Amino acid sequence: MILLLALACTRPPAPPPGAPDVVVVLADSLRADRADAAHMPALSRWAEGSARLTHARTPAAWTVPAVSSLFTALPPQAHRVLRHQDADGLALNRLSPELVTLAEVFQAGGYRTGALLKTDWLAPEDGFSQGFDTYQRVPGAGPAGESGAELTRAALSWLAEGDDRPDLLYLHYMDPHAPYQAPGAQPGLSPLTGAFQELEAIKRGDLSPSEADAAQLNALYDAEVRYLDRALGDLLLALPEGAVVLVLGDHGEQLLEHGGVLHEHLWEENVRVPWLLRAPSVAPQVLDGAVSTGSSAVTLVELAGLPPHPSWVYPSLAPMFQTGRPPQAPVVSEYADGRAIFAGGDALIRWGGQDRLYALDEDPDQRRDLAADRPAEVAALGGALEDITERSRALGRRLQGVIPAPQVGERREALCALGYLDCEEDR
């Protein structure tokens, strides 16, 4: 009897009856305006059977806090994975073990869980492997070269090795992240090659790009997007029938709009990302309205028949697929000390001590700042932004207590190769 009780206590949990496989496909630095038939024909054909959000926005305009929100269904000020700095090593805020992740909920629900990545940012020692049975940085190319094809092959191999449990698989593609050097792509509109060093020179003001340079950057980025589309086409066609599949970006990318490059601001090109979901219970549809990608985790567990964790605060999007109406709550994005709030078709960007207001329905490219003309609206949106930020910080204090200390990682060489760090002095 004691042996039987012990066996019962150690038996893995059973998933819900008919639990589907769940696959999350994240494309690093993929802008929302590139997820269309002209740039990504394979994804667009697949999307004909999906629900697509046209105005999904990331909680944070860079990878580490954005993925932390994806994993924990918490805003950045609550999960507190906010910063990195280059000193003697690389210091990062860790994803606290006190937080409950998407993978942990699926693992507790009887799923086999895996994460296959092409990025060096989301290291297991920084807390991102919580709840994953398999957590692997796939060897080979990084953001350039045959990176996408390598990840697709690894993903299909992992799925083929499964057992009788349903799968949760997280895939992190590094296309179209800089450097923009897709296999075989040579647009040749200017001398720019898409290297990280060129982008950093533009950012510092050491290189003043011409119109030809701007066209070249866009062409090189688009070549990366087309390459990613081929890799995703091979993946999506081979996924199990009846799987719940989410394709999204973690943030966008500036290609000299507003004078910037990379993804270090809160303009639409940096925060608006693709979000496409295919699930047996979700009818194909296109939905407008401001929605946060932070809602992804709670939506996925609901579609899989699992309960969301009580600490998660982003709302499920499952109801909107029935009603066609997105949640009415404002959406907040951030980068460094900057904040942006989106509500009712308007965007307030608080950056460098200055507020900018844009009516996105009339001015989607954010060319006309209306802050001086609409002070009451600025005050209302600014007050809502402050309230949401403070409530998120208070939630973080309740969930974690002391802010997790930054950890010095061992990934300096890899991040130098990516161009994230200026490592000229190392050579």
Mean pLDDT of 142-171: 95
Residue 59 has pLDDT above 90, yes or no: yes
Residue 408 pairs in a beta bridge with 91
Cα–Cα distances in angstroms (integers) from residue 226 to residues 40, 176, 277, in the given order? 6, 9, 20
% of the chain beyond a pLDDT of 70: 89
pTM: 0.92
Q: How confident is the model at residue 92 (pLDDT cuts 50, 70, 90)?
A: low
Asked if 60 and 66 touch (Cβ cutoff 8 Å), the reply is: yes
**What is the spatial distance between Cα 102 and Cα 316, in angstroms, rounded to a whole number?**
13
76 residue type, one letter: P
Domains of the chain are 19-421 (3.40.720.10)
Q: How confident is the model at residue 83 (pLDDT cuts 50, 70, 90)?
A: confident
**What is the spatial distance between Cα 73 and Cα 295, in angstroms, rounded to a whole number?**
6
Q: Please give the pLDDT value at position 400.
A: 84
Residue 7 has pLDDT above 60, yes or no: no
Residue 9 has pLDDT above 60, yes or no: no
Q: Please give the pLDDT value at position 84.
A: 62
**Residue given tokens 């009415």 in the structure block:** 328
Mean pLDDT of 227-250: 97
Residue 331 has pLDDT above 70, yes or no: yes
* Sequence-distant (≥ 6) Cβ neighbours of residue 152 within 8 angstroms: 231, 232, 234, 235
Q: Please give the pLDDT value at position 410.
A: 56
Closest to 185 (Cα-Cα) out of 229, 152, 232: 229
Q: Please give the pLDDT value at position 10.
A: 52
Q: Give 397-415 pLDDT, tens digit per residue.
A: 999 875 555 555 556 666 6
**183-192 — which CB contacts under 8 Å span 24+ positions?**
183/145, 183/146, 183/227, 185/220, 185/223, 185/224, 185/227, 187/216, 187/219, 187/220, 187/223, 188/216, 189/215, 189/216, 189/219, 190/215, 190/216, 192/216, 192/217, 192/220
**What is the spatial distance between Cα 164 and Cα 306, in angstroms, rounded to a whole number?**
18
Closest to 103 (Cα-Cα) out of 305, 248, 309: 309
Q: Give 334-363 pLDDT, tens digit per residue.
A: 999 999 999 989 999 999 999 999 999 999
Mean pLDDT of 22-33: 98
Q: Please give the pLDDT value at position 14.
A: 85
Residues in the chain: 427
Residue 418 has pLDDT above 90, yes or no: no
**What is the spatial distance between Cα 324 and Cα 29, in angstroms, rounded to a whole number?**
28
Report the range of poorest mean pLDDT among 186-195, 283-292, 300-309, 386-395. 186-195
Closest to 104 (Cα-Cα) out of 304, 278, 246, 308: 308
Residue 6 has pLDDT above 50, yes or no: no
Q: Please give the pLDDT value at position 56.
A: 97
